[in-house]
Amino acid sequence: MKLTFELHTLYFKRPFKIAHGVRTSTPIVLTQLEHEGIIAYGEASMPPYLGESHETVLSFLNKASVLLSKFQHPFEIESILKEVNLIETANTAAKASIDIALHDLNGRLQNQPCWKIFDCDKNKTPYTTYTLGIDEPEIIKQKIVEGSDYKYFKVKLNGENDKAIIENIRNVTDKPIAIDVNQGWRDKYIALEMMEWLANKNVLFVEQPLAKVNWDDARWLYERSPLPLFADESVQRYADIDKVKDCFHGINIKLMKCTGMFEANKMIKRARELNLKILIGCMSETSCAISAAAQLSPLVDYADLDGSLLIKNNLFDGITFTEGKITLNDLPGIGVVKKV
């Protein structure tokens, strides 16, 4: 198998405000895996908190391309990914780009969509949330209008003006909202007071209210919270799931954190065993990585896969949304076509 890659930058339609700053772009790397004339695609997206950059991904992929050239057949996904995982301990996004391309390649070689290979029911996809973000009241209102096709909104809060943001949204729409605090609430008392205030505001769940390492406070909040709590930054890979089971009601699985589709599928199975709810999420990504995650979406409860809708330069056509419901196609692999 031959691995090649390209560097790109994705630009947001609007500045993206999160708990610790404002971003206008995200670096990504697109990978291509070639076998017997068939080309498959993968993607690494690198938000700052993952600690990866164009340089770290390139350095990893250069090592991986030597390794992959030794494999004659792409079918042994598990053993190939095991060796890829051992190249470095971190680099989860770089690993995900190889995992996605490998699944895409297998699907293309078998002429089957990945959702079928994962034994999913194409019709059981969830609806995605549509992100409103942290913004001025007028801009939030505008985003609600732009997202009128979507059934659920995702609201980012950061500990400043949180109640005003929610009240502003509730003046415009009563649609269910999912809340993501991105570790933004200072302590457990503030968090509990906010959860109680949010409890009658038609909120689906609250994601990562406290700092990711703050396990004692997460458990304290879990025991008292009137709303479901989801771990995002606190759970990255398979090995983290057992740690969160007594501190959160659910987990947010993202391909860029967990090294891709293979491990995400394992995490879904483990989360089900532990009775955890599952959200499948994304970073700022093109329709390549979004479509890869969507292949597994019939297996989860909620989806937050609007990353490709929020960027100006989507480099792929892939899965679509029908009034917010993830709509899988029948194309082989992850179901994408690269734009020229």
Can you give the binding site for Mg ion, defined by CB under 5 A?
Answer: 180, 207, 232
CB-based burial, 82-119: b 16+ in 10 Å, e otherwise = eebbebeeebbbbbbbbbbbbbbbbbbbeeebbbbbbe
Q: Which is nearer to Mg ion, 29 or 279 (CB)?
A: 279
Q: Measured from the CB of residue 2, what is the shortest distance to Mg ion in angstroms? A: 35
Q: Measured from the CB of residue 182, what is the shortest distance to Mg ion in angstroms? A: 6
CA 264 to each of CA 109, 139, 236: distance values in angstroms, whole numbers, following the listed order: 22, 34, 10
Cα Rg, the chain, nearest whole Å: 19
Q: Which is nearer to Mg ion, 207 or 285 (CB)?
A: 207
Q: Which is nearer to Mg ion, 120 or 179 (CB)?
A: 179
Q: Measured from the CB of residue 106, what is the shortest distance to Mg ion in angstroms? A: 30
Q: Which is nearer to Mg ion, 40 or 157 (CB)?
A: 157
Query: Is the Cβ–Cβ distance between 305 and 297 less than 8 Å?
Result: yes
Q: Which is nearer to Mg ion, 84 or 267 (CB)?
A: 267
Q: Measured from the CB of residue 162, what is the shortest distance to Mg ion in angstroms? A: 15
Q: Measured from the CB of residue 253, what is the shortest distance to Mg ion in angstroms? A: 11
Q: Which is nearer to Mg ion, 41 or 185 (CB)?
A: 185
* Alpha-carbon torsion (316, 144, 293, 89), positive or negative: positive
Within the chain, where are the H helices?
54-69, 77-87, 92-110, 114-117, 137-146, 162-170, 188-198, 215-224, 241-244, 255-258, 261-273, 287-294
Q: Measured from the CB of residue 49, what is the shortest distance to Mg ion in angstroms? A: 10
Report the residue number whose CB is nearest to Mg ion: 232
* Alpha-carbon torsion (239, 242, 245, 246), positive or negative: negative
User: 3-state DSSP call for residue 313?
Assistant: coil
Q: Measured from the CB of residue 148, what is the shortest distance to Mg ion in angstroms? A: 23
Which two tokens mark 75?
A: 């079918």
Which two tokens mark 180?
A: 């993501």
* Farthest-apart Cα atoms in the chain, separation: 59
Gap between the Cα atoms of 282 and 303, Å rounded? 9
Q: Which is nearer to Mg ion, 105 or 289 (CB)?
A: 289
